[in-house]
Amino acid sequence: MKNNKKYQDFCQHLRKITDIRHAIDVMSWDHQTYMPKNGAEARGQQVATLESVAHTLWLDEKFGVLLKELSEDSSLGANELANVRLVLRDYTRKKKYTLEFVDEMSRATSAGFSAWHEAKVKKDFSIFEPVLKKIVELKRQECEFLGYEDHPYNALLVDFEPGLTVKKVDEVFTDVKAQLFPFTKEVFKRAKPNREFLHMKYSKAKQLEFSEKKIKQMGYSFDGGRADFAPHPFCTTFGPGDVRITLWVDEEFFNPMFFAAVHEAGHALYEMGLPSKENYGLPAGEAISMAFHESQSRFWENCIARSRPYWEGSFKELQKEFPENLSSVSVEEFYKGVNYVEPSFVRVEADELTYHAHIYIRYLIEKALITNEIQVSDVPKFWNDRYEEFLGIRPENDAEGCLQDVHWSYGSFGYFPTYSLGSFISAQLLATMKKDISGFDDLVRSGNLTPIRQWLNTNVHSHGRLLTSNELLKRVTGSELQFKFFMDYAREKYGKIYGI
């Protein structure tokens, strides 16, 4: 559409908005990595200013007129019309937000991260409680002015997974409770593999060196990204050619840094694989949804980096780095050790099976907060009671309990269900990939992960968000999301490990 002046104006306007969004992303990344504590208040004001500027550009009346005209332009191609349709949907939603609300939410969430971090360090929910109370009040208001059908939480799910509803999430978790939770309890009864060798001294520098080497093998490029440390690992994109990850480290436990690195690199590979350079600011260059985004990180972390073929090919490298810890450990012992299943408090370190209890608990809390069934002051007890109910353990303090995740400090309500959905999508993609790629396990074993990344580039990343999650999953795998793929994967893998 090089000759369509209106479409070019549309693209240019979106690029301006995206420039501002990425500037906010840079400031937020700095807030979580290097910014001194005393800079938080000013940073909150700066981010709020840019949020208001971006929102004003979104609400520009001339842009609205342009969108309507383009949506009726029969000269546009299918992709151009899809871009316009999706942006018009976003525009209609954003028109419901007032500048006052955007400013108030931005200030609340900027204060939220600092309060959450201090509360977590001090293991004291009361430090975070007043800020979270304000954020929850704003999210309740947001549901009302956005509007919803059936349940207010549906208004928030849209931001992360368009088309997802409470009804659908409840249906999925009905299967999880009926199939996965009983299977997990059977695993709990079996003899546990040894994993003492994972809880030894692993130097930060050597962990980082090994982790960076292995994510390069996946295809992550340090010419287009970097790895830093933050209180909570995440991936962020500043534009084409700059996709960054953050990690955390425990020098007394191997798992946290390595698997966080692979997980966040999985997110990064999705961003790097998007056709974002030629579609900067357009839906065609953006990720389809958070569930699909999570499917990419969970695929690399669990389906690849926790698989037997992966460690059959990589364990000797790790032994050379840490001979004092691993010289007497077999690859089979190591594989079983990194797939150890047990009830635990920390979501990001949870095994593949119990992970979904962590997500379900957060989902229940979010729904209850939004509908006023519980208040913010009730969160610690509600959290602890659910952990005792579903996992048989009770947190001893708020840091290992309701303060472990950063998401609520951002106002990210409606995000958590996508973590479980992403895991289930990853298993469905894996089943199809093994049919499409000859010698899949041999490739993983050899460290030649390029064909796997290219398959994802072609089948998932290249579409941007021009399709819905269901449309894309059906196109790639032949069906919409089916929990059975994850259950089949779990039974096959953990049945062998635990003799079930």
Q: Which residue has the tokens 């293991």?
A: 123
- Strand positions, DSSP E, 204-323: 227-229, 235-239, 242-247
β-pairing, 227-229 with 242-247? parallel
Q: Which tokens in the block code for residue 99?
A: 């500048």
Q: Is 342 left (phi over 0), alpha (psi -120 to 50) or beta?
A: beta
Alpha-carbon distance values, 173 to 164, 200, 364 (Å): 13, 36, 11
| 3-state DSSP assignment of residue 245 | strand
Closest listed residue to residue 33, CA positions, set 206, 233, 222, 211: 233
Backbone angles phi, psi at 394, to 5 degrees: -135, 125
> Is 327 exposed, middle or buried (CB count within 10 Å of its CB: 0-12, 13-18, 19+)?
exposed
Place of tokens 């072609």: 458
Say how many Å lie between the first and final Cα of the chain, rounded: 58
Give the residue from 198, 418, 185, 186 showing the smallest Cα distance to 306. Answer: 198
Residue 399 has phi, psi (to 5 degrees) of: -65, -40
Angle (nearest 5°) at CA 159 between 158 and 163: 25
Kindly name the residue from 80, 161, 264, 294 that is annotated as catalytic: 264
Residue with tokens 């946290």: 256
Place of tokens 């919409």: 480
User: Coil, strand or helix: which one is 454?
Assistant: helix
Least Cα distance to 70 among 59, 56, 85 occurs for 85
**Token duo for residue 279:** 């579609």
Residue 45 CB neighbour total at 10 angstroms? 12
Known catalytic residue at 100: no
Contacts of 347 (CB under 8 A, 6+ apart): 355, 358, 359, 362, 404, 405
Residue 456, CB-side half-sphere exposure with 13 Å CA sphere: 28
H or E stretch including 11?
helix 5-33
Mention every residue, 6+ apart, whose C-beta is less than 8 A from residue 28: 47, 236
Give the DSSP per-residue string, 84-117: HHHHHHHHHHHTTS-HHHHHHHHHHHHHHHHHHH
Structure tokens at 186: 């059977």
Residues with catalytic function: 264
